[in-house]
């Protein structure tokens, strides 16, 4: 059985490698390789995005053009980095599984150890992979990310102001289904992370009903409201209150501290 020390070292090395790959990916232009199907003919294309008045517009160029040939090496490198990150994440998950088996063999783990390595731990947060959807229509760019709404971008800015590292749209499994809550936020002071799910159109009945199943799934998965996940809501357009959202985040942290 692998010792705890070896598992932690392996996690640290892979987390460091993931961070390095992500930093390189962030520096590169967000260009991806794809295929465009027209009249039954597939053409290899590069996909990228341009900012116009704070909004993101989607573009495609053929790899057979001079411009396409110029940016093709960047697109290939981006694909390599994404694959590297996925592979490292799988290795991290394997190590976490080994660690959990070892933890189960220990009938009396210390409380501190459970906080650092159990559910919602830093190690688990490091293993989360962002959806990284760069094709969001009419998105809002902030830093290296494109947010689906202005309110989500404002939440990101609040987290940065509070000094809380976050991941946008982390991919998780909930009751056998893949989901991506808006944020996974790690707080070093409490040694764990939590999710934020922003519900931006609660004034619409259809929107509320569409999100009901998702909220019930979180509850069934024991993702506790106010502890493991924080819900922020808007009932009217433009009803985002920065101070109120900041207060809710601080309240959750203080309660757990």
pLDDT above 60 (res 132): yes
Highest mean pLDDT among 36-40, 74-78, 206-210: 74-78
Sheet with strand 140-142: strands edge to edge: 32-38, 41-52, 55-62, 140-142, 145-147
Instruction: With H, G, I as helix, E, B as strand and everything else as coil, classify residue 101.
Output: helix
Q: Which is higher by pLDDT, 51 or 147?
A: 147
In this prediction, residue 229 carries a pLDDT of 93
To the nearest 10 degrees (0 to 180), the angle between helices 150-161 and 242-256 is: 50
Residue 6: the pLDDT is: 55
Percent of the chain past pLDDT 90, that is, above it, reads 18
- Give the pLDDT band (50/70/90) at residue 118: low
The predicted pLDDT at position 195 comes to 95
Contact by Cβ (8 Å): 4, 102: yes
Distance CA 183, CA 168 (A): 5
* Cβ-contact 62, 45 below 8 angstroms: yes
State the DSSP code for 204. S
* β-bridge mates for residue 140, sequence order: 55, 147
Average pLDDT over residues 183-198: 91
51 pLDDT above the threshold of 80: no
Band of pLDDT at residue 113, cut at 50, 70 and 90: very low
What is the chain's alpha carbon radius of gyration, rounded to the nearest angstrom? 20
């Amino acid at each position: 059985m692998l010792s705890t020390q070896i598992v932690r070292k392996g996690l640290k090395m892979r987390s460091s490698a993931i961070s390095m790959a992500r930093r390189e990916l962030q520096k590169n232009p967000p260009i991806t390789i794809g295929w465009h199907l027209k009249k039954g003919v597939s053409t290899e294309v590069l996909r990228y995005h341009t900012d116009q008045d704070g909004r993101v517009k989607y573009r495609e160029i053929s790899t057979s053009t001079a411009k396409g040939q110029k940016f093709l090496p960047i697109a290939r490198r981006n694909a390599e980095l994404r694959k590297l990150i996925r592979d490292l994440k799988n290795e991290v998950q394997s190590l976490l599984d080994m660690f959990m088996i070892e933890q189960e063999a220990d009938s009396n783990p210390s409380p501190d150890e459970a906080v650092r390595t159990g559910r919602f731990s830093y190690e688990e947060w490091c293993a989360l992979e962002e959806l990284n959807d760069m094709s969001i229509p009419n998105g809002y760019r902030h830093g290296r990310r494109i947010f689906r709404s202005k309110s989500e971008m404002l939440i990101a800015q609040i987290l940065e102001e509070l000094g809380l590292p976050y991941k946008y749209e982390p991919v998780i499994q909930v009751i056998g289904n893949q989901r991506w809550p808006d944020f996974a936020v790690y707080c070093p002071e409490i040694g764990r992370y939590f999710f934020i799910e922003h519900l931006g159109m609660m004034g619409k009945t259809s929107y509320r009903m569409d999100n009901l199943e998702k909220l019930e799934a979180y509850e069934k998965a024991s993702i506790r409201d106010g502890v493991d996940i924080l819900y922020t809501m808007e009932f009217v357009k433009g009803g985002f209150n920065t101070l109120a959202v900041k207060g809710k985040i601080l309240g959750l942290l203080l309660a757990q501290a």
